[in-house]
Structure 1
């Protein structure tokens, strides 16, 4: 078992108990790591209920806003002398960015080429540029040999029509990981990305055809579908001394789907 006694982790992106970030938080607690969560204002009440019996602190923060992110790190600095691990698990795109209308939204979505600029930039700010923002605002607290991790999705590399504009943000996010890995290398701080397969989170529920995609993975990926715990186990590797030699990685945890060219139905 990985022992993170004396380590501090700040995680961004919990919405509810189906969130991958929540599974990672629980895995870190098991490893004796101290955990703090940055949560969007709309989800604070839900997350505070989730953590009531756990040694986890919750901070409200709009990750789009420099002043709120600065206030967050100021508050963290009052409690911890350093941050050893930081997870960016934030992503958002409305139906105009995803080019599909989820249940309850009557407005027809645009075609991909008609994605509104302002909606896309809001999605880009939350889903991609916010990684740069938290790295910039939090770098004074990052200890030498700290580990920064973000969550991405294979739609950055291949066409998933139900993901549309979000895929652009994920591609940008992955490129930022490479440049941040270079930037932080002089401080021995590593920056990596986990490309998770589809887990039935609240966010995944907004992807058009998500159940068909899950079925495709079950039938085609060498290991079938994954769980949030699979992703959490991968995150724990990066949130430990075992990954000291790894930076700039795009690490797939998708049952092997990314290596497949065609559906095989091997697991039916």
Structure 2
């Protein structure tokens, strides 16, 4: 009997950004756990910890740590715990973004300097920081994979997406540069670009229901993406089946990016 194409048995993976059952990262965690990975997950604060308890219990996750990317010491503590507990890391998933409401919904030209800096720090540079701390543990595993979550607003103007479009464009550029810099260590870096789906983050974007309706109407497959769809692609990318894939932006959006 042949082995499944997505097999993460023996691999240790860090997954960030789980906020509740509808999070993109929840779908990723479920797919990776089903493929056999040992998961480490993080939460932003005590309030979010309460919302993810059902996921922790359902998937039987033992390694759960606080990570607030605006506080470097919490990132350091997470990776110190991973090294102590597992001695290596095979993959890490970055799924976090933030912008002040006025900067998200307002004109880019009116974005405040501090708001721009905060959005870029949390949404983009946090991926660079994650890669920096993950690098030595990925090396100990003989290489591995880093994946971040982006969106079509990086290359097309999406109403009410504002400064986040700039952050995602920078995030995709960071993906390419990190892939080039870390490739010699057999570390692959990719971005996944889902179509619109209703998450807690998306609920803060005005008119998002219209974006979802347009995706169903105009996409070639006439459907919305689900966290499970995103999880399947991500699990593939971090598995050995994706061993020669690096530096790309990979759409999972029912084909909407070709017509959107």
Q: What's the TM-score bracket when you normalise by the shorter of the two chains?
A: over 0.9
TM superposition shift of 1:223: 1.1
**Kept after mapping to 1: 8 A contact 2:7/2:240:** no
Q: Is the 8 A contact 1:151 1:193 kept in 2?
A: yes
Q: CA RMSD in A?
A: 1.2
- Contact 1:77 1:141 (8 Å CA) reproduced: yes
Distance (whole Å) between structure 1 residues aligned to residue 142 and residue 257 of structure 2: 33
CA contact (8 A) 1:221 1:256 kept: yes
Query: Does 1:134 pair with 2:130?
Result: yes
Equivalent residues, number: 251
* Counterpart-to-counterpart distance in 2, 1:219 and 1:138: 40
Helix, strand or coil at the partner of 1:182: helix
Partner residue, 1:202: 200
Greater relative contact order (CA < 8 Å, ≥ 6 in sequence): 2
Counterpart secondary structure, 1:141 = helix
Contact 1:3 1:31 in 2 (8 A): yes
Aligned to 2:251: 252
TM-score by length of 1: 0.90
In structure 2, the residue corresponding to 1:255 is in which secondary structure? coil
* Equivalent residue number for residue 36 of structure 2: 32
| Aligned partner of 2:76 among 57, 61, 70 | 70
Tell me the residue number matched to 2:57.
52
Q: Which has the higher helix share?
A: 2
Structure 2 match to 1:151: 149
Distance across 1 between alignment mates of 2:84 and 2:53:
20
Displacement of 1:139 in angstroms is 1.3
CA contact (8 A) 2:107 2:162 kept: no
Structure 2, gaps ≥5 residues long: none
Structure 1: stretches of 5+ with no match in the other structure? 100-109, 262-268
Deviation at 1:117, TM superposition (A): 1.2
Inter-partner Cα distance in structure 2 for 1:137 and 1:242: 25
Match of 1:89 in 2: 95
Alignment of 1:72-221 (within 5 A): 72-99=78-105, 110-142=106-138, 143-221=141-219
Superimposed CA distance per residue, residues 161-199 of structure 1 (whole angstroms, 9 cap, x where no aligned partner): 210001110000000000000011110110000011011
Structure-1 separation of matches of 2:69 and 2:42: 9
Q: In the alignment, is the contact (CA less than 8 A) between 1:48 and 1:58 conserved in 2?
A: no
Alpha-carbon shift at residue 27 of structure 1 (Å): 0.8
Partner of 1:232: 231
